[in-house]
Amino acid sequence: MLIQRAQKMTLILTSQMTFHLHRIIQEEMKRIMIKTLNLLTFLVLVLMTHLKLALKLRRKKNKILQAKTGSAKPVKVNFNKFEFSNSYIWFEFYNAPLENDTFRSWHIVGRLGGCNSMNMQLSQSTFEKRPNYDAIQGANVTPSTFYNIGDFEIQDNLARVWVDIGTTEPLLLDTLINALTQISSDYVGIKQLVFGGSEFENWKENLTSEYAGYSVHKI
């Protein structure tokens, strides 16, 4: 009788232990599966992020490595009795004329007094140590402003724009020449740039027809 009870208790204990062991194994497997899923999710996110960055870099690379459409030849710059208050700036392009956004931007910067050679504190200081800007000095310099600019006129591969810069500010001209030099190299080839003069190359004052290659663009 005692042996039977002992055997019965052994079976009950064995069954309970097996149940608990099975439950522990199931819970451990669940934890392992959850960790595995989390790891897989993380790896998928990393892979997607990597692919997005690769596509983004490829697009930027295509833009950066885009072939230049300008001219490797430097722009020839001449001055012909240029007056800051009343003069034409003449252009000769190799092919298509330049868009007038360049001159609009130049005029805005000049109009706001951005090109004032009397206040070039940072350009004249070294950056070996922290630069110091004197606001009082900057506020008391003689103001420089771009008074007026005319329309951008085009005749075939020639163009001109009338300007009234007002004050004698060569920095404005340097700024324009630098911008046009880069634009000529990268985008639209400019053969020559002439400041001043009432006549230029084959420009015809009486040619005002679009059918003959004339166009005018507001700045």
| Mean pLDDT, rounded, for 11-24 | 65
More confident position, 144 or 52: 144
Quick check: 180 pLDDT over 80?
yes
What is the structure's pLDDT at 10? 63
Q: How confident is the model at residue 124, as a pLDDT?
A: 76
* The two structure tokens encoding residue 48: 């997607």
Q: What stretches of 112-152 show up as alpha helix (H) in DSSP?
A: 135-140
User: What's the rounded mean pLDDT across residues 185-206?
Assistant: 90
Burial class (CB in 10 A: 0-12, 13-18, 19+), 184: buried
Distance CA 161, CA 159 (A): 7
Q: What is the CA radius of gyration of the chain?
A: 38
Region 8-30: what's the mean pLDDT? 67
What pLDDT, on the 0 to 100 scale, is given for residue 40? 66
Give 88 or 217, the one with higher predicted confidence.
88
Does pLDDT of 7 surpass 60?
A: no
Beta-sheet pairing, 158-164 with 87-93: antiparallel
Q: What is the pLDDT of residues 99-121, one digit of tens each?
A: 668 888 898 898 888 888 888 88
